[in-house]
Structure 1
Amino acid sequence: MTSVVRLIALVLALTGAAALLPALVSARWGEGFAPIFLATTLGCVFFAGAMRFASDGFRGRARRLDIFAALAALWLIVPVMATPAIASAAGLPLSEAWFEALSAFTTTGFSQVERGPRSLFVWFCLLQWSGGLLTIVSGFAVLAPAGIGGLPDRAGQRLDEREAVDLAGAMKDVAPIYLGAFIAAFVVLLLAGNTPYAAFSLASAVTSSGAHLPPEAKLALTEGTATRFVMLPFFLWAATSVRWHRALASRRIHAAPEQGESLVLIAYWAVLGVMLAVLLFDVGPRIPVPVALSEGLFAAASLISTSGIEPASGVFAALPQGLLIAVVLVGGGALSVAGGLKILRLRALLLRTQADLTRLISPNIVQPARTGEGGVGSAMRGVWVGTIALFATLALALVLIAGGAPSFEAALTAAVAATTNTGPLYDAAGQNWPPL
């Protein structure tokens, strides 16, 4: 339990430090919200210090069950600490402000705040960026070593090594790549002609698969084809495995087990992007082919990474709703910030189905046994568990939302958007549904 308290204290301290940036932005632009952000900093630092001193003197290694408890607590505690600043800057009740904070931190993208001070959207951007980092670290340090959801298991490790969690090592491996991608996206977006404010917002969204954007950033997407094109590689970066990124950075391209999944995902994006471009060109008023291609490729990358950012207003409404739901349900790659079923699990299920059908057609055929994707053993069992968990969560969300939804289509879209962290999919459906 000591490790749980210390981890929460560390994250609270970092949250307090992050609140200094919107305080500076508010002071720079004379918005008058610097005091509430400074109060957030003081509150976070106070609670972090109290928790740290309370756990001082206790020793013990961080075990997996402890880290699970800490991560579950963090997804609630950080939005709670961020809520007062959002309520003050956006003029929202505390309950709605907490929902906005939770939506930003989980990179879901549900939002009723269309306009607001710069400091508010900077705070949203920091929340969604830090939420994306927490997602990757959780998968890299906890879920993958435990073999959860079909991720590579740890059968070759000793028992004590299986239960120990090296969060510091995971942060050392993941954080530089994640921060480097954000800086690269920010610089490229600046070179594409965007203001620092819009570039910062877009860079935080594209690297975290979030969708909280100020009006200036949305306008930059609508008016700038160059902005859409330079964001494409970062959407694909967000949708592919962080271990593949490490292999690329260390020039050991074939060392990552997610190499095949990443290549399949890139091919899937290219095919889907051309398909969406054709649909956009044929549906409604004719648009130039380059514009349709840029919007189609951007929409495909945005949906696969489960960000849900529209390339332009009305693009998602012009596309078949069932196709959009299917794409976000599949999602991106394992050990990425993308949500959904994941290409890894879908590929494993298809390979397993192929093997079973082959056995039905030719019962006496001799097939090579495998323990990985599409084979047998704990990896395939994890794939089934992850798949069942996703659709069970989707069913529960559908039941909870259906009571207040205007139609089944609205409830299904909202449930899929919430389950896959693709909130803009609901708002962009073009059906004038009430906000969640």
Structure 2
Amino acid sequence: MTAILYFLSILLGALGALMLPTALVAISAGDMALAEGFLLTSGLTGFLSGGVYFALRGQNKELANAQTFLLCVVTWFGLPLAAAFPFMLSGELSGIDSLFEATSGLTTTGSTMFRTLAEVPTAIVFWRAILQWFGGFLTLLSFILILSPSGVGGLPDRQAGLMERNLGDDTGRIFFVVRQIGAAYCFFTLSLAWLLIISGLGAFDAICLAFSTLSTGGFMPIDGTIAAYDNRLAEFFIAIGMIIGATSILWHRMAVRGKVQLLVEHRESYALLGLVLALGLLYSIVLFQLAGSASVLPPSSALRQGFFTAISLISTTGVELRHADVTVLPGILVVCIALIGATPFSTAGGLKLYRIGAMTVQATREIGRLIYPHSIRGGRFGRTSYTMQLMKAIWASFLLSMIFIAIVAGIVTYDIGHFDGGLIAAVSNFSNIGPLYSSGWTQTNEWPAYADMGLAVKYALIVTMILGRIEIIVVLGALNVNFWRR
């Protein structure tokens, strides 16, 4: 437990540090009471995390697999508790609603308890955005340092000389990974924010949108959609940012280092781009047909809206160019794409294209085996070798996810009285694309907003958002009684 508390104190301290720039935003807006709340919470968080850090600094930091899982679980369930305090201090949300909002931000889900942002303090809007950004960074670290090295759910083990298999073997190497990933993440965020400012957006909105875009989160700094800015260049930069957030950070690193062969073999990123192209064209065609004529919706506008919608859906961001564009395709197709998500080692949610690709390869092999029973076939997808152990892990993760989604969908359906709404709410929050639930479906007016749902449903969706991030099997591993008994 010593190592778990040590690393948790560092993450808690980082969260407290993020409250300092938020306090500056409150001061600049003239909200001194809220600024004092942020400073007080930051001070208490820093005092607690600093005390634990220095008390355990010289202690042994070895972590076994189950302990790394427990660290992951404690981090994702514990940090939202601290992140919820500013929402409570602002007086805008109740306790459970504050926890829901904080969890939604850290998991980059984008489900919100706010009905409108018109009266919400600027500092709270900024806090939501920076929580998403920090949550995206935590997602990358979870994949690289814990989930992938442990092979959780059949995730690929692609460390490329950067990652450490055992979180506790060499703390210096771990911090090296954090610096490498953090530097790239900050570079992309600052670059996007600068491009949005150049395009004509205000500095505050540009920064908040950069935070939300790179983390593939769904929080907007304003009410409405991206079209409210009436800025085509900004729309283009946001779309590019969502693609960067949805593709593997290891793929980006290979591109920077000029490893052409590894870039070619990284199938998921190219599959994602191909899916964006196909779905973007499909959305564009349907939107143009629904418009009825080129005078109502010119082909160029249909293409712009179609591709933006496709990118937002596949990346599990959830921001919209025009309200309800995502719903013009059949609901089952939209739900399936949202459930699949994007690539591993990205900030996007969902089951990941890697797993769907692996299951497709296995299905193809089994069909081939029926036709040619004695044939010998290679088993690879991308750079990863096909093994039955790997496929068992992938199918186990898929089955657990489906069972969990069915349970949550039942809970939500019982509360709101609509199965479609219950299913979409469950999938939206599990795939961390919360705005999908309120995207203008035919019965949206009959579905209650997140703020109107019952207490049990809110707790269920909080757990759903977190398990969508850390994998259900991680929780089972952390709760392994036999390991802790030994």
Residues 418 and 257 (structure 1), Cα distance of their counterparts in 2 relative to 1, 3 Å cut: farther
Counterpart for residue 414 of structure 1: 425
Shift of 1:66: 2.4
Question: 1:9–1:48: 8 Å Cα contact kept in structure 2?
Answer: yes
Counterpart for residue 454 of structure 2: none
Structure 2: distance between partners of 1:209 and 1:126: 12
Residues 299 and 413 (structure 1), Cα distance of their counterparts in 2 relative to 1, 3 Å cut: same
- Provide, for residues 308-361 of structure 1, a one-character-per-residue CA deviation record: whole Å limited to 9, x for no partner: 111122323444322221211111011111111211111111111111111112
Residues 34 and 162 (structure 1), Cα distance of their counterparts in 2 relative to 1, 3 Å cut: closer
User: TM-score, normalized by length of structure 1?
Assistant: 0.93
What runs of 5+ residues in structure 1 fail to find an aligned partner? none
Question: 2:146–2:167: 8 Å Cα contact kept in structure 1?
Answer: no
Question: 2:318–2:436: 8 Å Cα contact kept in structure 1?
Answer: yes
Structure 1: distance between partners of 2:17 and 2:41: 9
Residues 249 and 216 (structure 1), Cα distance of their counterparts in 2 relative to 1, 3 Å cut: farther
Counterpart for residue 246 of structure 1: 253
Shift of 1:163: 6.8
Structure 1: distance between partners of 2:184 and 2:333: 32
Alignment length (residue pairs): 434
Query: 1:311 and 2:321 equivalent?
Result: yes
Q: Is 83-92 or 101-110 further displaced after alignment?
A: 83-92
Structure 2: distance between partners of 1:374 and 1:409: 39
Structure 2: distance between partners of 1:401 and 1:64: 34
Question: 2:100–2:113: 8 Å Cα contact kept in structure 1?
Answer: no
Residues 421 and 50 (structure 1), Cα distance of their counterparts in 2 relative to 1, 3 Å cut: same
Question: 1:373–1:380: 8 Å Cα contact kept in structure 2?
Answer: no
What runs of 5+ residues in structure 2 fail to find an aligned partner? 451-486
Question: 1:20–1:41: 8 Å Cα contact kept in structure 2?
Answer: yes
Counterpart for residue 36 of structure 2: 35
- Provide, for residues 362-410 of structure 1, a one-character-per-residue CA deviation record: whole Å limited to 9, x for no partner: 2233323559768323332232223223222212221222221231000
3-state SS, counterpart of residue 424 of structure 1:
helix
Query: 1:69 and 2:74 equivalent?
Result: no
Counterpart for residue 91 of structure 1: 92
3-state SS, counterpart of residue 110 of structure 1:
coil
Counterpart for residue 119 of structure 1: 123
3-state SS, counterpart of residue 215 of structure 1:
coil
Query: 1:435 and 2:436 equivalent?
Result: no
Counterpart for residue 469 of structure 2: none
Counterpart for residue 361 of structure 1: 371
3-state SS, counterpart of residue 306 of structure 1:
coil
Structure 2: distance between partners of 1:220 and 1:37: 32
The structure 1 segments of at least 4 consecutive aligned residues displaced by more than 4 Å after TM superposition are 160-166, 219-222, 369-374
Structure 1: distance between partners of 2:197 and 2:158: 43
Counterpart for residue 335 of structure 1: 345
**Which residue identity does 2:184 align to in structure 1?**
I
Structure 2: distance between partners of 1:154 and 1:177: 18
Residues 45 and 213 (structure 1), Cα distance of their counterparts in 2 relative to 1, 3 Å cut: same
3-state SS, counterpart of residue 415 of structure 2:
coil
Question: 1:198–1:217: 8 Å Cα contact kept in structure 2?
Answer: no
Shift of 1:164: 4.3
Residues 253 and 31 (structure 1), Cα distance of their counterparts in 2 relative to 1, 3 Å cut: farther
Shift of 1:416: 0.5
Residues 162 and 198 (structure 1), Cα distance of their counterparts in 2 relative to 1, 3 Å cut: closer
3-state SS, counterpart of residue 416 of structure 2:
coil
Q: Is 331-340 or 52-61 further displaced after alignment?
A: 52-61
Report 1:6-405 matches (<5 A). 6-32=6-32, 33-89=34-90, 91-113=92-114, 114-115=116-117, 116-153=120-157, 162=166, 164=168, 166-215=173-222, 218=225, 223-255=230-262, 259-284=266-291, 286-370=296-380, 375-405=386-416
Residues 380 and 219 (structure 1), Cα distance of their counterparts in 2 relative to 1, 3 Å cut: closer
Residues 220 and 311 (structure 1), Cα distance of their counterparts in 2 relative to 1, 3 Å cut: closer
Q: CA RMSD in A?
A: 2.4
Structure 1: distance between partners of 2:317 and 2:166: 33
Residues 302 and 154 (structure 1), Cα distance of their counterparts in 2 relative to 1, 3 Å cut: closer
3-state SS, counterpart of residue 404 of structure 1:
helix
**Which residue identity does 1:382 align to in structure 2?**
A
Counterpart for residue 435 of structure 2: 424
| More RCO (CA 8 Å, sep 6+) | 2
Question: 1:198–1:220: 8 Å Cα contact kept in structure 2?
Answer: no
Question: 2:62–2:167: 8 Å Cα contact kept in structure 1?
Answer: no
- Provide, for residues 408-435 of structure 1, a one-character-per-residue CA deviation record: whole Å limited to 9, x for no partner: 0000100100110010000113312102
- Provide, for residues 46-91 of structure 1, a one-character-per-residue CA deviation record: whole Å limited to 9, x for no partner: 2112322442442233443323212211212222112221123352
- Provide, for residues 7-60 of structure 1, a one-character-per-residue CA deviation record: whole Å limited to 9, x for no partner: 111111111111011111111111231011111111211211232244244223
**Which residue identity does 2:98 align to in structure 1?**
A
Shift of 1:213: 1.3
Question: 1:305–1:338: 8 Å Cα contact kept in structure 2?
Answer: yes
**Which residue identity does 1:332 align to in structure 2?**
A
Residues 7 and 60 (structure 1), Cα distance of their counterparts in 2 relative to 1, 3 Å cut: closer
Structure 2: distance between partners of 1:134 and 1:11: 9
